[in-house]
A and B are shown apart, each in its own frame.
Chain A
Amino acid sequence: MALLEIRDVVKTFGDFTAVNHVSLSVEAGEFFTLLGPSGCGKTTLLRMLAGFEQPNSGQILLDGKDMSQVPPEKRPVHTVFQSYALFPHMTVAQNIAFPLQMAGVAKADIPARVAEVLEDVRLQQFAKRFPHELSGGQRQRVAIARALVNRPRLLLLDEPLSALDAKLREEMQLELINLQKEVGITFVYVTHDQGEALALSHRIAVMNKGEVAQLDAPETIYSYPKNRFVADFIGQCNLLDAKVVEVGGERMKVEIPGVGVCETLPVDGAQVGQSGTLTLRPEKIRLAASVAHDADEVHFTGKVHDCLYLGDVTIYIVELDNGTLVETMLPNSAPGRARFFDDNDAVELAWRYDAGHFLLG
């Protein structure tokens, strides 16, 4: 049985639907992420899990128990708030002791428990400080320690890293992964940063306008986005309009109007004549002055339209012969090389039949 089960949950504010028929389940021990653009309903869904909002319809089950009549303080669920919400009039140690006191832990046992969790987040020497005497990263760790100290079944984290600078964020991401492994508590993590979601999660639910657009493992979400929204939202992606021209067999053929026919992975239920979108990640496309031919690949010629130097890689926007723009990239890994082509250089493109995939409709 799943630890958390969300069944067809709807939440409206007035006539605005913030969460629209969401169903999903989270297994014990999982690092589960809700990813989506601002305003898509991530926080609202999280607040319903914590008990601060009631769904208009649908059910939330924790360990198989319906949570609708259970107030926040009675749920074995703790939240790390985006603002951290540390109690400003209490020291770090007092903040962390708070949930233990609420749970009725014997007074004598509290200091040891606090010390233990402070060690987990490497803040032993900060126990006597007040929140305003800590840096952003330290506050964040106190918030996590406080939420973890009495071992909730489920830890909810609402964009806990968004207030930190890029460097510290990366550090904290690694710490979060390790911490989650160590304590083995189920995490439901909210973010609008796709890189963070891909890096941290076991599974990701991509949300759009209150609905789940796709729920899969990070690799699947990235390589096989189920719809245009996900393809577009996660990373860079070429979205080429195309039409099915041949089905059956190991590969399917689609035609990109004005460009040509190319092979791709078969799609269930595809029929000749249906239109759709071919999704292609820039890094899956081969780019060279002349590309050796290969039976598994399709070839096109074009010229460089734009270059974007990003340091580790350079993005080349290639204009195909009919004017279609395709984004590609090359790593600048060879010593002394910063760019391979200039604007208007003639180039060749190639991609394997399984480099991208086709979306119907």
Chain B
Amino acid sequence: MKVSRWVWGAASLVYAFLYLPLAIVVVFSFNDSALNAEWVGFTLDWYKQLFHDDVMIEAASHTLAIGFVTCVVSTVLGTLAGYAMYKYRLRLLPVLVLTPIAIPEILTGVSLLIFFVMLNMTLGLVSITLSHIAFCIGFVAIVVRSRLQGMDESLVEAARDLGASPITAFRRITLPLIMPGIIAGALMAFTLSIDDFVISFFTAGVGSNTLPLEIYSRVKVPVKLNPEVNAISSLLMLLTLSLILIVSKVAPSALRAGGD
């Protein structure tokens, strides 16, 4: 079938709209000018400056640490939740696990803030991490559950039949088969965490700035705005892209989260 020229045109426009701004950010991170206005010449100064910017580095390390812990904890808990939802067909559990996904982030942020304050908890890295875990679990659970639903149930029965205890059957059969889903869930949790702004904004305390918060604070204040932000954004993009690339190599079906 011949795809009409209009479809091609529309698709190109949409992709241009999606990718052009990203491309511009990357290009200007190498621009030898403090203004994001016109191309002057190639430089790595902004990256050099970035590596001497202690505030930015601290924010980045916060983000990575939070992202890592969130990824690990919410992958484990989300996998368990997804498995429980699949196995026990409870009515309430899916609601409890999935609601945080549907609720507007701003609400989650505000309510978590109130909650932490009520508990007299100092806002900081711990409160941010707990919040991220809370909203990432649901995403992991959904992906894992849909992966489980795509699995032939008789496989586990076959394993039991051939002499495997329930735990062995889970470890040898279920776990390897849902692994692409778990990896996809982990990737999702990590990226959701490192680029989260709204919830982090509410649950961060003094001295616990994350990268998105720091970038925002600089963009907001024109004096502080310089292509260093472009540089850190480009690095963030590089990190995300390489994660996706690694996953697509290690577990190709992980990116088709629905199970195949």
Contacts of A147 in B (CB 8 A): 162
Q: Provide the A150-185 mask, 1 if CB < 8 A to any CB of B, else 0.
A: 100000000000000000000000000000000000
Pair A89/B162 contact, Cβ less than 8 Å: no
**CA separation between A138 and B157, bound complex, in Å?**
21
**Any chain A CB within 8 A of the CB of B43?**
no
Of all chain A residues, which has the CB nearest B164? A102
Of all chain A residues, which has the CB nearest B157? A52
Q: Which of B158-205 contact A (CB under 8 A)?
A: 158-165, 168, 172-173, 176-177
Given contacts A87-B173, A102-B168, contact A73 B160 (CB under 8 A): yes
**CA separation between A106 and B101, bound complex, in Å?**
49
Q: Which of A99-127 contact B (CB under 8 A)?
A: 99, 102-103
Contacts of B44 in A (CB 8 A): none
Q: Provide the A60-72 mask, 1 if CB < 8 A to any CB of B, else 0.
A: 0000000000011
Pair B176/A99 contact, Cβ less than 8 Å: no
Given contacts A71-B160, A72-B160, contact A85 B165 (CB under 8 A): no
Contacts of B163 in A (CB 8 A): 73, 99, 102-103, 150
Pair B177/A85 contact, Cβ less than 8 Å: no
- Give the interface residue-count category, chain A: 20 to 34
Pair B160/A85 contact, Cβ less than 8 Å: no
Contacts of A83 in B (CB 8 A): 152, 154
Contacts of B107 in A (CB 8 A): none
**CA separation between A79 and B158, bound complex, in Å?**
7
Pair B158/A81 contact, Cβ less than 8 Å: yes
Which of A52, A73, A79, A87 sits near B155, CB closer than 8 Å? A87
Pair A72/B161 contact, Cβ less than 8 Å: yes
Please give the distance in Å from B157's CB to the nearest CB on chain A. 6
**CA separation between A119 and B176, bound complex, in Å?**
29
**CA separation between A147 and B154, bound complex, in Å?**
14
Pair B177/A81 contact, Cβ less than 8 Å: no
Q: Which of B133-161 contact A (CB under 8 A)?
A: 152, 154-155, 157-161
Pair A98/B159 contact, Cβ less than 8 Å: yes
**Any chain B CB within 8 A of the CB of A146?**
yes
**Any chain B CB within 8 A of the CB of A355?**
no
Contacts of B168 in A (CB 8 A): 102
Q: Provide the B82-106 mask, 1 if CB < 8 A to any CB of A, else 0.
A: 0000000000000000000000000
Pair B162/A102 contact, Cβ less than 8 Å: yes
- Give the interface residue-count category, chain B: 10 to 19
Pair A78/B176 contact, Cβ less than 8 Å: no
**CA separation between A87 and B164, bound complex, in Å?**
13
Contacts of A311 in B (CB 8 A): none
Of all chain B residues, which has the CB nearest A102? B163
**CA separation between A79 and B177, bound complex, in Å?**
21
**CA separation between A146 and B154, bound complex, in Å?**
15
**CA separation between A99 and B163, bound complex, in Å?**
6
**Any chain B CB within 8 A of the CB of A335?**
no
Pair B164/A85 contact, Cβ less than 8 Å: no
Contacts of B155 in A (CB 8 A): 85, 87-88
* Residue among A50, A81, A87 having the largest count of chain B Cβ atoms under 10 Å: A87
Please give the distance in Å from B63's CB to the nearest CB on chain A. 35
Pair A85/B176 contact, Cβ less than 8 Å: no
Please give the distance in Å from A134's CB to the nearest CB on chain B. 16
Of all chain B residues, which has the CB nearest A146? B162
Given contacts A73-B164, A83-B152, A102-B162, contact A89 B157 (CB under 8 A): no
Pair B160/A98 contact, Cβ less than 8 Å: no
Contacts of B154 in A (CB 8 A): 81, 83, 85
Please give the distance in Å from B173's CB to the nearest CB on chain A. 6
**CA separation between A52 and B160, bound complex, in Å?**
9
Which of A52, A71, A88, A99 sits near B162, CB closer than 8 Å? A99
Please give the distance in Å from A155's CB to the nearest CB on chain B. 11
**CA separation between A79 and B163, bound complex, in Å?**
11
New A-B contacts (13) at CB < 8 Å, excluding given A72-B160, A78-B162, A98-B164: A50-B157, A52-B160, A71-B160, A73-B160, A73-B163, A73-B164, A78-B161, A79-B158, A83-B154, A85-B154, A89-B176, A98-B162, A102-B164
* 27 intermolecular pairs with C-beta atoms under 8 Å apart: A50-B157, A51-B160, A72-B161, A73-B162, A73-B163, A73-B165, A78-B162, A79-B161, A81-B157, A81-B158, A85-B152, A87-B155, A87-B158, A87-B173, A88-B155, A88-B177, A89-B176, A98-B159, A98-B164, A98-B172, A99-B162, A99-B163, A102-B162, A102-B163, A103-B163, A147-B162, A150-B163
